[in-house]
Structure 1
């Protein structure tokens, strides 16, 4: 009986630890992005907190186009170097994930509504950009250790 109680206690502690970890996981950090066509790592995005919102800038470009500029970006960002460009804006905590922000695709110069979340692994961040038409694209970003 004591052995069962100890096992139950251990399983409860592990379960609580895992749920505490997932609920406190944060998108803050450096994330490797993948090219949708080739599947190769193309950049590192650094996500940071500013007040109660999250923002993200391109910290590194890992392709041959390291000096690329954003020719198609709207407004003041047009012609800016892609490295250093803030592409995630105003992302806010929403339950177990984040939403309400926008993400800029520098290659298309288009902004999309953004949501982000972790599934079971806090080192894999799911990023979903949604177009006003209802179409969306989801990417898996891996934590850059």
Structure 2
């Protein structure tokens, strides 16, 4: 009887484990569409975040000064480094999508509402203002 209860409990846990596995499918390293940045996506609690861990041309023209967030609308943030900058924030997994997050574009200094769809070795990341119909999708590729 004890073994039957244990087996039943394990069977009940399979859907919970499967959902956690699919929710974490985006965790890892991704190259942006232009292949000039590598973003590490990670989970904190039940939310997902992404930070830039590598960029091409990591230094200013002098070859010594790390590139800064010079286009940020908030002048107090313009001196922060692009490397280790968190650009994906507060994504929540729901029914095969990561929703209700924000994406920051350091190239423009703008932040957009965003959602993510995982498709094998790619992520479709939709940034938008207001509703998702008024936005743009970028495709990131799993980094090797």
TM-score of the superposed pair, with normalisation by structure 1: 0.72
- What residue in structure 2 maps to residue 55 of structure 1? 49
Alignment deviations for residues 47-71 of structure 1 (CA, whole Å, 9 cap, x no partner): 000000001000000x224421111
The runs of 5 or more residues in structure 1 that have no matched partner are 1-19, 36-40
1:20-55 deviation line (CA, Å, top 9, x unaligned):
79x7261110000122xxxxx111000000000001
Distance 1:137 1:51 in 2: 28
Specify every segment of 5 or more residues in structure 2 that has no aligned partner in the other structure, as ranges. Answer: 1-17, 60-65
Partner residue of 2:141? 142
1:142: Cα distance to partner? 0.8
Q: How many residues align?
A: 117
RMSD: 2.0
**Equivalents in 1 of 2:43, 2:84: separation in Å?**
16
Q: CA deviation at 1:74?
A: 4.0
Q: What does residue 86 of structure 1 align with?
A: 86
8 A Cα contact 1:116 1:127, kept in partner: yes
Tell me, yes or no, if structure 1 residue 64 matches structure 2 residue 57.
yes
TM-score normalised over the length of structure 2: 0.73
Q: CA deviation at 1:77?
A: 3.0
